[in-house]
Structure 1
Amino acid sequence: MSITVIKPGLMATIQDLGRSGYGKYGVIVSGSMDRFAHRTANWLVGNDEGDALIEVTWSGMSVRMEREMWVALTGGDFSPQMDGVPVPMWRPVFVRKGSTLTFTGPRAGCRTYLAVAGGIDVPEVLGSRSTYIRAGIGGMKGRVLKAGDIIPVGTGKGRLRHPSTKGTQPFDAVRWAVPASERPAYSEHPYVRIVRGPQFGDFDDMSRRALLDHDFRVTPQSDRMGYRLEGPRLQLHRPQEYISEGVTMGTVQVPSDGQPIILMADRQTLGGYPKIAQVAGADLPVVAQTPPGSTLRFREISQTEAEQLWMDQGIRLRRLARMIALKLKEDGWLDGLD
């Protein structure tokens, strides 16, 4: 069972939830940028949450389904169509052999996640199927997808039954979807909650106020490694040298030009620039879907508030996973519950 890439679009890669445990050797985590959309897409097709899928950045991609299979699309809306028929998102969709899925243009967000029942079955590298392009490892030979790629789909974990009748349309979609109220609040101009970073106090008063009082534009130089922002110049009280220390997804560093960078999935393992803030983990999906050219504004919260938001999102995700599984079982698609 496989998927054939007809047109790769701007950028598409195979990702899972990342390559953890190797940071001490300088190996980055990588993985999907929007972990909420990743997990939900997998649950919708009966997969484990960490199974590999396709992360599509912007649009223009076109793929052909070489077998009948269940798929789900989550994250940004790129106006997906199957043989010219609009495909609904955030729900399981059964597609027929030979159908072609095309992303025709972005409506919201900047990354779509395509999960297939059984998961993308490329070889693991250091325990992960995630693509890390700079090192050339994982995914399809460590690179972006290109025209002619044949992407293998696994069969061992897929637990969704196929419809017993043959339809005439290129796909059949279930009637329900993940409610909008249960999804992240994607926006082109989001408020992003942050806590103070370890060097917050090293910046002058004007810079600390500017961080919270002004919009920052996401520049075209932003990528999976980091979001480069453009706004007021943030300055230290006095020039200092810092010892490199660990960073994580959402760390906000400020290099010498004074323009902050939000580190993302393909971030380095260590950073020597001053860290003025840390994005609350619950808001990382929103940041991941903020496209270049749009703006964001930071809002400070306490460490306790950030931890509570993270715990609340975990509860919300577990509830969503159970809800999807129950709905699939109720409809007669899922073989059983774990």
Structure 2
Amino acid sequence: MTDLVVKSCGPMTSLQDRGRLGYEGFGVSPSGAMDRRALAMANALVGNAPETAAVEFMNLGGAFMCEGGDLHLALVGAGCALSIDGAPVDPQTSVVLKEGQSLEVGHPRTGTFAYLAVAGGFAVEPELGSLSFHLRSRLGGLKGAPLKAEDRLPCRPESQDREPMQLALDPPEESGPIRVMMGPQDDYFTPETIRMFLESEFAISPQADRMGFQLTGPRLEHAKGFNIVSDGIVDGHIQVPGSGQPIVLMRDRQTAGGYPKIATMISADLARFAQMRPGMSVRFTAVERDEAVAAARRLKDWMASLPSSLTPVRFALTTEHLLSRNLIGGTVDALAPATTDPND
């Protein structure tokens, strides 16, 4: 077995895949990758299915090495730099980490979350169908915990013999306000408050984690109080507690809650929002269901197109690279007499 060994990492570095689906009726949070676009890109580069579990970095990078064989891997997301034994790796490019080499993941520079995928995924036993780590329930991850120094992630050695690839395709460029559908409890707010919500600028608070992002901005007043009978919650629900400051619920959210939800972020904008850092400003715009569905379909089609957008890595013709390819198939003596014997 080939292991990816953790030398150092941030406290919320964890294994994440699509999430733990089908258990919310039992109070189990789905969890899962905060940026599924970046997860799919990293997996495509190493030949995995888009939802295969990868190492998710939050705010900090890490250092790793492999033991027991070579590993084919790729890093995507948040502008993190990747290097092997100090040599930089081009962005959105897969690479072979040879046994004994050191891999370093730099701090995020343009976002919050990045993903390190390994060909074949990790040979870790799933819990309730997923490797996704959920902090509050201690489900998933590596033995119910985030990653830490000296942890060993077992990998599948039979999946590592792949050609390094590069991906020139970037995520669909979405700009402007984050799109939301109003409700399900927008009737708990006056028309003036709804207009304020849609026309005001909010900021991402430092109180932001995988469970939810607290926003700061104008106070949103309730028209019928801030308590409701607890009902189901989905990713992207924007609830407004008694403080009047909205909270956007994310992948590690609870499964039910008792605060009115003024709006729901569309699924196609969740990853873009998740990559926003504390202090960044955010605005919202209301859309109808048809636009939300169309955006979700465009994102799904884009993810499906990733494998066809890969191209082999073009290495520089250095002496080191040529020697590593074992190109010599035999030798001849230029001074030896010519012969026509096919057995010579």
Superposition TM-score tier, normalisation by shorter sequence: 0.7 to 0.9
2:82 matches 1:80 = yes
Q: How many residues align?
A: 312
- Tell whether 2:269 aligns with 1:283: yes
Cα distance, 1:304–1:118 mapped onto 2, change above 3 Å: same
Residue 95 of structure 1, aligned match among 77, 94, 97: 97
The equivalent of 1:296 in structure 2 is 282
Output the CA distance in 2 between the equivalents of 1:240 and 1:110. Answer: 31
Matches of 2:172 and 2:121, distance apart in 1: 23
Alpha-carbon distance between aligned partners in 2 of 1:246 and 1:328, rounded to the nearest angstrom: 46
Alignment-derived partner of residue 229 in structure 2: 243
In structure 2, give the amino acid aligned to 1:247: I
State TM-score, norm by structure 1: 0.86
The answer for the alignment partner of 2:320 in structure 1 is none
Offset, 1:186? 7.9
Gaps of 5+ in 2: 314-344
AA in 2 matched with 1:243: V
Contact 2:184–2:262 (CA<8 Å) still a contact in 1? yes
Structure 1 position 254 matched with structure 2 position 245? no
Q: Alpha-carbon deviations, 1:7-38, whole Å to 9, x = none? A: 11242001111111111111111111111111
Q: Given residue 153 of structure 2, which amino acid in structure 1 is its aligned partner?
A: I
Q: CA deviation at 1:233?
A: 0.7
Gap runs ≥5 in structure 1: 164-172, 330-338
Query: Computing the radius of gyration over CA atoms, which structure comes out larger, 1 or 2?
Result: 2
Match of 2:57 in 1: 56
After superposition, where does 1:122-141 map in structure 2 within 5 Å?
Answer: 122-141=124-143
Q: TM-score, normalised by structure 2?
A: 0.85
Residue in 2 that maps onto 1:161:
161
Deviation at 1:122, TM superposition (A): 1.3
Q: By how many angstroms is 1:218 displaced? A: 1.0
Secondary structure of 1:221 counterpart: strand
1:273 to 254, 259, 278: 259
Question: Hey, what does 2:326 align to over in structure 1?
Answer: none
* Distance in 1 (alpha carbons) for counterparts of 2:224 and 2:28: 33
- Of 107-116 and 309-318, deviating more is 309-318
Alignment root-mean-square deviation, CA: 2.1
Offset of 1:240 from its aligned partner?
5.3
Q: Which residue of 1 aligns with 2:44?
A: 43
Structure 2: how far apart are the matches of 1:111 and 1:99? Answer: 24
Cα drift, residue 291 of structure 1? 1.4
Whole-Å Cα distance in 2 between the matches of residues 91 and 284 of structure 1? 25
What is the DSSP-based 3-state SS (H/G/I as helix, E as strand, rest coil) of the residue aligned with 1:151? Answer: strand
CA distance in 2, matches of 1:250, 1:93: 35
- Distance 1:138-1:301 versus aligned 2 partners, 3 A rule: same
CA contact (8 A) 1:58 1:78 kept: no
Does residue 226 (structure 1) correspond to residue 212 (structure 2)? The answer is yes
Tell me what 2:181 maps to.
Answer: 195
Q: How far, CA to CA, are the matches of 1:130 and 1:252 in structure 2? A: 23
CA contact (8 A) 2:177 2:284 kept: yes
- Find the aligned partners of 2:284 and 2:290 in 1 and give their Cα distance: 17
Listed one character per residue, the Cα deviations across residues 121-175 of structure 1 (whole Å, up to 9, x for unaligned) are 211111111111211121112222111111111346x3x6346xxxxxxxxx54x
Letter in 2 for 1:177: L
Distance 1:240 1:186, change over 3 A: closer
- Is this contact kept in 2: 1:10–1:61, CA < 8 A? no
Q: CA deviation at 1:65?
A: 2.5
- 3-state SS of 1:212 partner: helix
User: 1-side partners of 2:100 and 2:125: how far apart?
Assistant: 25
Alpha-carbon distance change, 107 to 185 in structure 1, aligned in 2, over 3 angstroms: farther
